[in-house]
Each structure stands twice: as structure tokens, then as C-alpha cells.
């Protein structure tokens, strides 16, 4: 039966060769080419033996094509589906593909972006299962519930919840935990809690972690702590989960207490803590932890390397960054996009734009908008405005759509080069062609661009015409421009306003006082310093760091 090709009986041996052929296929293209050959040879359907490898690959592989898997499965004649023992497995695999895509959409930095697959197709698939009398099992329901774990699929998820209850599939802990996760994503905390209470007697460590995560995501930190203390058993994931939530709510010190207390740390624990420190600007602490981790872990994954690179990048710790790059080469760590992007940023921030571009061209096999943006920014700040702009153009030509951050890099390049017109053109392009809403950073870049080029009046006019209220960064850019171009009249107005709105910020006083000094208005400069003293504003010295043979010196 399985060797049937559009009504033509073929020997079983041929069928098994076909299957072997399929199993060796490593890409969607290879599968599709073989499929085309079958069609050209006059067969309407794929041999059944080929269905499993092709459906598995196109549903589950990161480069797979879920639509194709659905089409293939829907084109199998109903009588054949009904009589085959592996049909349920095939349906489950495709539904699992849906589930996986939903998850990745939540987490876009992971693997490639799949275009979203409409829910309608999922319903079509379910309909086909019913028509062919293929009964769902606990795997089917687990995948289905996961596939519904997006707000747009809430109603379907609820329906499946009732089906699952009616058919006694809640006995399965995977089904229960998937449901809990669905509620925590699609519904409120109250509903999630209620579901948990229903299962509490059967709750395992995963259920507890899910509920705690739901609390943490909604800022209920104290409730999360109560649950964490109450849970009957904790795994490393439980501790990591708690730490992640605390860091998200700026409770870095509390997270560190947990980190020190936890009985066993894995690579995720270290990653969470290191990136927590680095994102909070406590970069030396982050690097210190990274070094400590190296003593206990020999196999570093890309996540922890990204965290280490982010810290190195902020601190300008070139040797440290180079060590990580060497590790990646030696251990042949896969050059994921997040990893190459982190490398490009690190080299650029350490002032080695050549090395950054070398990584960009030689190492970065996969590039996305962040990889390009990192390179464009690196070129821009190191004074290679022309190269930055041509790389940006190249990116657009390749069909990679720029985002808001890309335009920060572009405006920065224009600002450094004094290209007012080009900068304004790109600002408009961002808004009108790509529909990106400008943020305060974009406005600050524009003010910087106009101001540096000496168009002070225009910069001021730009600020007053902004649809949102300018913040101190935007006004600060104008003050800086006043200083560069020696305009104490406007500088005084802007500087005073800045000081009044942010009277504890030392930089505002210094900027204004420097402006006076440079305009030979020593008396006014002194006055500003006196006000500063009277208000007890300490001058915090800027810290710069230098990496000498792996030791960071701060001055």
C-alpha cells in the first residue's frame, strides 16, 4: 500500500530507496527538487515512505517550510491517511512545527524569523484529522496548546482546554503544564493562579516555575518570592527563573544573593548574572564574574560569550574580547548572528574598526539588521562616514529592512561628516518610507547634526517643532553645539534651563561654565561654578579605561 504512486504499484525496494534518498536531503531545496521530479515523472502523490522525512524536516528544521509541510499533508488522500498507522505522528509533527514557530516569535533573537502561519491552516489541519478519523493523543494536545500560546489564538486555546478536560487528557502533566503556560501568556495572572490551584496537588517543579514566572512577568515580585519559598522542590532552572525576574525588575543585589546561595549553578545561571551586571552598567563586576566562571566551565555557549562580549565592549576591554574571539575560533562555536553582532560591537567599541569589519566580512555567515547596524555604527563613530553610508545602502539593497537603531547609526554618520542634507533626507525616509516613529534618540541625533554644522537657529526650531517634549539629551545636544560654535547667548538660555530641570547633574553646569570660559566670559563661568558649589553638586570625574595586556586600568 505504501509503495503506491498515483495508482501505479511500484516494488517495495524502490520505495525504500526513495525513503533513503529523502533521508539524505539536507535542505528544503533538495526536498522540493525531488518532489518536482516525481511530478514530472507523472506521479500525482509522493510515496508514503517519503512523507515522514519531508514533513519532519519542513515542519521542524530552522530552515524548514511549514506551509509546504501542511500542503503535503493535506494532499494525502483521506483513505490513505485513515489506514496508515503513522498518520497521527505526521499530524503531530506539523502541529509541533506551529508550536515551535509561536515560541520563536516570542523570542526573535533565536534562530531565524519564520513568517507567521495563519491559524486558519491549523484549523484546516484539525478538520482533516477529524475527516480521516485520526484521533488526537496527549502529544497532539500538548503541541496544540503550545501553538495557541499567543494572544491572537486565545479563543482556540480555551476551546482546546475544554476538549482536553472533557476527554480526560488533563491526567497528562505535559498537557497540564502547557495549559498553564498558555494561560500565563494569553490570560491574566488571576486565571493562571486559578488553573494552578486546580492542579496544585499534581503540580511538579515545572508548574511551579511557570506560575512564578507569570508573577515575575507582571511585577509581582513578593508573591513570586512567597511561591519560591513554598515550592516543594527547586531545580537550577527554578533559581535561574527567579534571578532573571529579579534582574528584570532592577533587583540586581537580591539576584546576586540567590546566585551565591544556589546549590548548583549551570551556564545559564552565569549568563543571567553576567548580562544582568553588564546591562546595569556594572561592567567590572560582569567581567569579574566571567573570569570566575571560566574556572568552573570549560564549555562556553554562545549566550554566555555574548554576555562576556557585551561587558568587554562597554569597558573597552580589548584583550578580554580578543580572548573570547580566540575561544570561538578554537572551539568552533557556531557563529550565530547574536554572536557575530556582539563581536563587531566589541571591536568597534574598543576602537578597532578594522577588526570589527574583518569579523563582519569574514566570520559573519549570517547577518541581520543588527549585524549591519553594529557595523554601520562602528564605521560612523570612527569617522568612516562614507563607508558607513555605503554599507547601509548595501543592506537595504539586500532586502534587509532598517529599524530605528539603524537610523541612529545613519544619523550619527551624517553628524560626524557634517552632512546636514543627507541626514535630514534619511530622517524623513525613516518616517515616511519605513514608518518608524522617531524616538528621543533620533531627535537628539538630528539636533546634534544641525548644531554641529552650525545651524543653531534651525536646531532650536527643530526642537520646538517636535511632536514630543524634548528631554535633557536633546537640549544637551544643542548646548554642546552652542559651545562648539561659541554662541553664549543661546547657550545661556539652554544651559540655564537644563540646570534648573536637572539640578543634580554635574555635566550641565560644567558644559555651561565651559561655554562661558571659551567665550571669554570668565566672570559668568565662575558664577556657574559657585552655584554648583552652593548646591553641593559634586563633579564626578569621567572614567576612561585602558586595556594593557589584559589588565584594565581606569583613570
Partner DNA sequence: TTAGGGTTAG
Q: Which residues bind DNA (CB under 7 A)?
A: 52, 85-86, 88-89, 92-93, 96, 103, 107, 109-110, 137-139, 141-143, 146, 172-175, 177-178, 181, 204-207, 209-210, 213, 235-238, 240-241, 244, 267-268, 271-272, 275, 301-304, 306-307, 310, 336, 338, 341-342, 345, 369-370, 373-374, 403, 405
For residue 529, the tally of other CB atoms under 10 A from its CB is: 18
Report, in Å, the least distance between residue 490 CB and DNA: 35
Instruction: Identify which of residues 97 and 495 has a Cβ nearer to DNA in the complex.
Output: 97
Report, in Å, the least distance between residue 102 CB and DNA: 10
How far is it, in rounded angstroms, from Cα 88 to Cα 67? 18
Instruction: Identify which of residues 31 and 141 has a Cβ nearer to DNA in the complex.
Output: 141
Full DSSP string of 314-356: HHT-HHHHHHHHHHHHHTT----HHHHHHHHHHHHHTT-HHHH
How far is it, in rounded angstroms, from Cα 410 to Cα 445? 10
How far is it, in rounded angstroms, from Cα 428 to Cα 423? 9
Report, in Å, the least distance between residue 61 CB and DNA: 13
How far is it, in rounded angstroms, from Cα 336 to Cα 341? 9
- Three-state DSSP at 38 gives helix
List phi, psi (to 5°) of 553: -110, 125
Q: Grid coordinates standing for 510?
A: 560644567
Cβ partners under 8 Å of residue 433, min gap 6 = none
Cβ atoms 113, 130 nearer than 8 A: no
CA-to-CA dists, residue 222 to 185, 216, 321, angstroms: 20, 9, 38
Chain centroid to CA 94: how far?
A: 25
Report, in Å, the least distance between residue 85 CB and DNA: 6
Instruction: Identify which of residues 270 and 509 has a Cβ nearer to DNA in the complex.
Output: 270
Instruction: Identify which of residues 377 and 532 has a Cβ nearer to DNA in the complex.
Output: 377
Q: Grid coordinates standing for 497?
A: 534651563
CA nearest to 477, candidates 493, 492, 463: 463
Report, in Å, the least distance between residue 472 CB and DNA: 25
Angle (CA) 296 312 307, round 5°: 55
Report, in Å, the least distance between residue 338 CB and DNA: 4
Instruction: Identify which of residues 141 and 419 has a Cβ nearer to DNA in the complex.
Output: 141
| Alpha-carbon radius of gyration of the chain | 29
Q: What is the DSSP letter of 263?
A: S
Q: Which helix (DSSP H) or strand (DSSP E) does residue 9 occupy? A: strand 8-9
The pairing of strands 8-9 and 545-548 is: unpaired
Burial of 218 (0-12, 13-18, 19+ CB in 10 A): middle
How far is it, in rounded angstroms, from Cα 174 to Cα 197? 17
- Three-state DSSP at 25 gives coil
* H runs (alpha helix) in 418-487: 420-432, 440-452, 456-464, 472-484
Cβ atoms 379, 391 nearer than 8 A: yes
Cβ atoms 66, 117 nearer than 8 A: yes
List phi, psi (to 5°) of 22: -65, -40
Report CA torsion sign: 314, 318, 323, 326. positive
Q: What is the DSSP letter of 535?
A: T
Q: Which helix (DSSP H) or strand (DSSP E) does residue 553 occupy? A: strand 551-554
Amino acid at each position: 500500500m505504501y509503495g503506491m504512486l498515483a495508482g501505479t504499484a511500484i516494488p517495495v525496494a524502490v520505495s525504500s530507496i526513495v525513503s533513503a534518498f529523502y533521508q539524505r536531503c539536507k535542505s528544503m531545496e533538495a526536498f522540493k527538487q525531488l518532489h518536482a521530479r516525481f511530478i514530472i515523472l507523472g506521479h500525482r502523490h509522493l510515496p508514503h515512505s517519503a512523507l515522514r522525512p519531508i514533513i519532519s524536516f519542513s515542519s521542524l528544521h530552522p530552515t524548514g517550510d511549514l506551509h509546504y509541510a501542511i500542503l503535503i499533508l493535506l494532499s494525502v488522500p483521506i483513505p490513505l491517511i485513515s489506514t496508515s498507522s503513522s498518520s497521527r505522528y505526521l499530524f503531530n509533527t506539523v502541529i509541533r512545527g506551529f508550536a515551535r514557530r509561536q515560541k520563536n516569535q516570542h523570542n526573535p533573537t533565536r534562530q531565524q524569523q519564520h513568517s507567521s502561519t495563519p491559524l486558519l491552516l491549523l484549523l484546516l489541519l484539525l478538520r482533516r484529522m477529524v475527516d480521516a478519523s485520526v484521533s488526537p493523543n496527549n502529544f497532539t494536545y500538548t503541541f496544540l496548546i503550545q501553538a495557541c500560546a499567543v494572544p491572537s489564538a486565545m479563543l482556540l486555546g480555551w476551546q482546546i482546554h475544554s476538549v482536553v478536560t472533557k476527554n480526560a487528557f488533563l491526567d497528562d502533566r505535559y498537557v497540564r503544564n502547557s495549559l498553564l503556560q498558555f494561560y500565563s501568556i494569553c490570560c491574566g495572572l488571576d486565571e493562571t493562579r486559578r488553573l494552578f490551584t486546580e492542579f496544585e496537588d499534581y503540580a511538579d517543579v515545572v508548574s511551579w516555575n511557570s506560575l512564578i514566572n507569570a508573577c515575575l512577568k507582571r511585577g509581582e515580585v513578593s508573591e513570586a518570592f512567597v511561591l519560591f519559598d513554598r515550592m516543594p522542590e527547586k531545580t537550577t532552572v527554578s533559581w535561574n527563573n527567579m534571578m532573571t525576574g529579579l534582574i528584570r525588575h532592577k533587583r540586581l543585589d537580591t539576584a546576586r544573593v540567590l546566585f551565591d546561595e544556589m546549590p548548583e549553578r549551570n551556564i545559564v545561571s552565569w549568563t543571567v548574572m553576567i548580562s544582568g551586571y553588564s546591562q546595569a552598567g556594572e561592567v567590572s563586576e560582569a567581567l569579574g564574574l566571567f573570569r570566575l566562571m571560566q574556572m568552573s566551565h570549560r564549555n562556553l555557549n554562545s549566550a554566555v560569550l555574548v554576555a562576556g562580549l557585551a561587558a568587554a565592549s562597554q569597558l573597552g576591554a580589548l584583550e578580554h574580547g580578543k580572548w573570547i574571539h580566540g575561544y570561538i575560533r578554537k572551539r568552533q562555536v557556531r557563529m550565530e548572528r547574536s554572536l557575530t553582532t556582539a563581536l563587531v560591537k566589541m571591536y568597534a567599541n574598543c576602537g578597532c574598526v578594522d577588526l570589527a569589519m574583518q569579523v563582519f566580512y569574514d566570520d559573519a555567515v549570517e547577518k541581520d539588521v543588527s549585524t549591519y547596524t553594529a557595523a554601520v555604527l562602528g564605521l560612523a563613530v570612527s569617522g568612516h562616514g562614507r563607508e558607513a553610508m555605503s554599507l547601509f545602502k548595501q543592506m537595504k539593497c539586500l532586502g534587509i529592512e532598517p529599524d530605528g537603531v539603524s537610523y541612529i547609526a545613519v544619523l550619527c554618520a551624517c553628524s560626524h561628516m557634517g552632512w546636514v542634507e543627507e541626514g535630514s533626507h534619511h530622517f524623513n525616509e525613516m518616517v515616511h518610507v519605513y514608518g518608524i516613529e522617531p524616538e528621543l534618540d533620533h531627535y537628539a541625533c538630528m539636533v546634534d547634526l544641525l548644531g554641529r554644522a552650525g545651524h543653531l537657529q534651525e536646531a532650536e526650531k527643530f526642537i520646538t517643532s517636535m511632536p514630543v517634549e524634548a528631554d535633557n539629551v536633546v537640549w544637551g545636544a544643542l548646548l554642546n553645539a552652542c559651545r562648539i560654535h561659541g554662541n553664549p547667548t543661546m547657550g545661556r538660555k539652554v544651559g540655564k534651563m537644563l540646570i534648573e530641570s536637572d539640578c543634580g547633574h554635574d555635566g550641565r553646569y560644567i558644559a555651561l561654565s565651559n561655554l562661558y570660559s571659551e567665550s571669554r566670559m570668565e566672570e559668568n563661568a565662575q558664577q556657574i561654578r559657585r552655584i554648583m558649589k552652593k548646591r553641593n553638586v559634586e563633579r564626578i570625574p569621567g572614567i576612561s579605561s585602558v586595556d594593557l595586556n589584559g589588565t584594565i586600568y581606569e583613570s
